[in-house]
Amino acid sequence: MVSLAPASGKPATATSTHPSKKMVVSSSPAPILKTSKSIDNAATTSTGTKRKMSEMELSSSPPSSVASDAGGTGPSPKKRARVQFDSEVETRCLPPTENMSAAEPEKSAAVVREEVRRAIQRHLSGADSEAYDRVKEIFSADPKKTEEDGSLPYGLPSHATLKHHMLGLLSNVAALDRNCAGLVHSVLDSEWLGRDESYVKLYIRFLGNLAAAQGGYLGSVLKMLVGYLGEVPKGTGKLPGYPRVNNAEIYARVHMALRYIMHLIPAGSGALSPILSMQFPFDTDSVKANVAYTRNLIKVIEYTPELQADILALITEKLVKIDVQIQVDMEDIEDEAGEDLVQDITSPERIALADDDSDAESVASDDSVDVDMRQLKAVKDKIHKLDCMIDTLFEYYAPPFTSGTLDDKENALDLLLSHFQSIILPTYRSRHSQFLLFHFSQTSPILVDRFATTCIQLIFNKLQPGITRQSAAAYLASFVARGAHVSSEVVRDVFDLLGTHLNNLRSEYEETCRGPDLRRYGPFYSTAQALLYIFCFRWRDLTTASLESDDTSNIDDIDLEDVSFPMSIKEILHQTIYSKLNPLKVCSPAIVSEFARIAHHLRFLYVFPLLETNKRLRISSFRSITAMADPRFSQIERETRAGDDGGYQLDAYFPFDPYQLPLSRRWLENDYVEWRGIPGVDDRDDDTDSEAEEDEKDHDDVISTDGEDD
């Protein structure tokens, strides 16, 4: 008879059902005898320098080799157990459990921890790397590999084996220097997001301790985690033997890891910021990837508030880039298709972060779709991206403006203004990104003044590049003209400020002016065009009646013959229009034409003769030989009666033109001033010039242009 008993004499054998024999059940007798001392020592190790496993809700059952019988006591931790063998006892090994090789039965956590420690030490000393390579293989094994019957092959590590090896690495993090980079990267590349919660928490603890103890791995750890913030790789969260983990839970686990690391290493945000920028999906990536990454970046701000400005600037840069590319692509599409494109867009909500990985919505291959259809689909995808991404920013910025204090609102607006000046304003053809400012700056009269003042300061600042000042004029004019919550008082104040500035520029430039020249006098022409644009949309707020009352809702009911304007407004525009600088020759023809019709109908100014004169005016002799480099000055080649060789004119770029994105458009309800035509102007015949000639004699206040065009 063979018996395994401790020194106290208490038996540790199991009785066989055979009437004449007893059987000792042991999964691996030899390793247990070898490591019994290390196991005993591990059971009594102080936790003063290590975290307890209970923190991560982990537990491991005590090794069966040291378990005592019911009512008995275990061996003394200070005395080695004596082993006696009974030759009559039949010794058998249990059959291997699922996912475990018959030749290598499951080992306890303490045994594996010791093996991992020895493997790392022998590898670092150069003595032997065989055990070290076996540990690498544990984490390198493909957990999705299955047998034909659906079961896991014996070569793959079991859940317990994987967890015990992770505990072993956690206990030896200090030894994982750069010489163990192969093992560390095997762990980082291993599948962990689809496993059970206890393993995930253990893995996150390992990542945090590794990044804290071995700073050289911080970048690799963060890069691995950030890589999961976009579209989740196919198959992630679907491991045999584990419940499926959906995308929302995968993102939650990644954020838990990042939050834990940022808590352990506060300075780690400095390394995280460039990685977030580098890992942002490309423009050619899917809608899911871009939208998911944007939303997850917003989530990162919650636990790294110091990165708020960087993250929001990064998202804004991507928004502007996509926005501009859409405008370029739209020009390449036929007019009819381009007009219907935005209207035909379906709601992108189902695309944004759907958990369904099916390819039901995939389009046909490139070989079966013509070039035009592929181009249309590419533009639609970009519009979906832009719409969902900008809607996410609207949601993020909304709380401080809707329920915050005045300080909260001003701080949020300061952030928007900083991105406006550094990213949006210098970018030509930004079409939608700026509507964040358009909406939120109208939530309070104080914020309206803040945005208008910012633009005015840029316009007046001669230290700013000329192109920046001209862009600021376009933004200010469009904001004042289109903002439904911009009061009549603000409209008049802005008009007066721009008029005074325009008069000063005219006095400065006229001394050396020989004729219209956009390159030399750009700030003058951009300011003049801003005034014309504001007048076209908000002339009701500029009338004498508006000075007496801010209520202009019933202005359309007033006889238009009774409408009058303050003399200061008429003087400023008259002096500007009939100056040597001749702004009506350089400003956008569409705006000039609309101003001419409204001003004529309101008996304000009569400029049609000047427009006819400008058609015969050649400005090539006045224009500088140096060509304009900036695209916002459109070189329009026009065939005229006098054979004009074309001239540089301001582009009709006003950044707050109607907003058409289907999802995010909801934020701008009631924020927008729609075009209100004047009876008798919008319904008139196209022969405007003939009508003007017939009515010219009836206008007592018409300004004659005789002798003004030299």
pLDDT tens digits for range 673-687: 888 777 655 654 444
Our CA dihedral for 463, 473, 657, 439, rounded to 10 degrees, sits at 70
Query: Which H or E run contains 332?
Result: helix 308-332
Q: Using the predicted structure, report yes or no on whether residue 664 has a pLDDT greater than 90.
A: yes
How much of the chain, in percent, has pLDDT values that exceed 70?
A: 68
pLDDT tens digits for range 227-284: 999 999 888 888 888 899 999 999 999 999 999 999 999 999 999 999 999 999 988 8
Q: Structure tokens of 552?
A: 């202009």
Give residue 335's pLDDT band: very low, low, confident or very high (50, 70, 90): low
Q: What is the mean pLDDT of residues 276-293?
A: 92
470 residue type, one letter: Q
| Mean pLDDT for all residues in the chain | 77
Cα 706 to Cα 488, 578, 703: the distances in Å are 35, 11, 9
| Residue keyed to tokens 């407004």 | 569
pLDDT tens digits for range 394-437: 999 999 999 999 999 999 999 999 999 999 999 987 899 999 99
Q: Structure tokens of 286?
A: 């899917």
**DSSP three-state, residue 194:** coil
State residue 333's pLDDT score.
74
In DSSP terms, 650 is beta-bridged to 633
State residue 1's pLDDT score.
42
Give residue 620's pLDDT band: very low, low, confident or very high (50, 70, 90): low
Q: What is the mean pLDDT of residues 120-144?
A: 89
Give residue 497's pLDDT band: very low, low, confident or very high (50, 70, 90): very high
Cα 137 to Cα 114, 157, 441, 571: the distances in Å are 17, 9, 58, 85
pLDDT tens digits for range 162-207: 999 999 999 999 999 999 999 999 999 999 999 999 999 999 999 9
Q: What is the 3-state secondary structure (H, E, C) of 627-686?
A: CCCCCCEEEECCCCCCCCCCEEEECCCCCCCCCCCCCHHHHHCCCECCCCCCCCCCCCCC
CA 161 to chain CA centroid, nearest Å: 40
Cβ neighbours of residue 415 closer than 8 Å, sequence gap 6 or more: 308, 309, 312
- Report the alpha-carbon angle 427-433-434, nearest 5: 80
- Nearest alpha-carbon partner for 615 in 639, 635, 649: 639
The stretches of 195-307 forming alpha helices (DSSP H) are 197-213, 218-226, 247-264, 269-278, 287-303
State residue 14's pLDDT score.
40
pTM of the predicted model as reported, rounded to 2 decimal places: 0.75
State residue 284's pLDDT score.
84
Backbone angles phi, psi at 692, to 5 degrees: -65, -40
State residue 375's pLDDT score.
82
Q: Which is more confident, 662 or 83? A: 662
For residues 478 and 452, what is the distance between their CA atoms, to the nearest angstrom?
A: 11
- Report the alpha-carbon angle 37-43-45, nearest 5: 100
State residue 219's pLDDT score.
96
State residue 383's pLDDT score.
93
Contact 415/453 with Cβ under 8 angstroms? no
| Residue keyed to tokens 């000063």 | 504
Cβ neighbours of residue 247 closer than 8 Å, sequence gap 6 or more: 232, 237, 292, 353, 355
